[in-house]
């Protein structure tokens, strides 16, 4: 069960792509997934260069992508 709370970007990405071979490939896949919609692109731009995401930012991501 997914808990809505602050996450590091790396931790959240690993929830969406647990079987990824490396953190870098998981981050690239996460970015591509966000870019599939205009809302996702806006979220990606808003969190650009952020290592830690607030609960509100995580909620926006979950609104766009659904729960991991």
pLDDT digit string, tens, across residues 1-50: 899 999 999 999 999 999 999 999 999 999 999 999 999 999 999 999 89
Domain that holds residue 24: 7-65
Q: Which two tokens stand for residue 10?
A: 């790396």
Residue 63 pLDDT level (bands cut at 50, 70, 90): very high
Residue 1 lies in a domain: no
pLDDT at 1: 84
Structure pTM? Answer: 0.91
CB-based contact 54:7 (threshold 8 Å): no
Q: Is residue 44 part of a domain?
A: yes
Position 2 in a domain: no
User: What is the number of structural domains in the chain?
Assistant: 1
């Amino acid at each position: 069960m997914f808990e809505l709370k602050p996450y590091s970007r790396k931790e959240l990405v690993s929830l969406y792509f647990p079987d990824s071979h490396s953190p870098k490939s998981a981050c690239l896949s996460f970015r591509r997934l966000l870019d599939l919609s205009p809302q996702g692109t806006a979220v990606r731009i808003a969190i650009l260069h952020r290592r830690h995401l607030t609960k509100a930012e995580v909620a926006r991501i979950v609104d766009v992508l659904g729960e991991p």
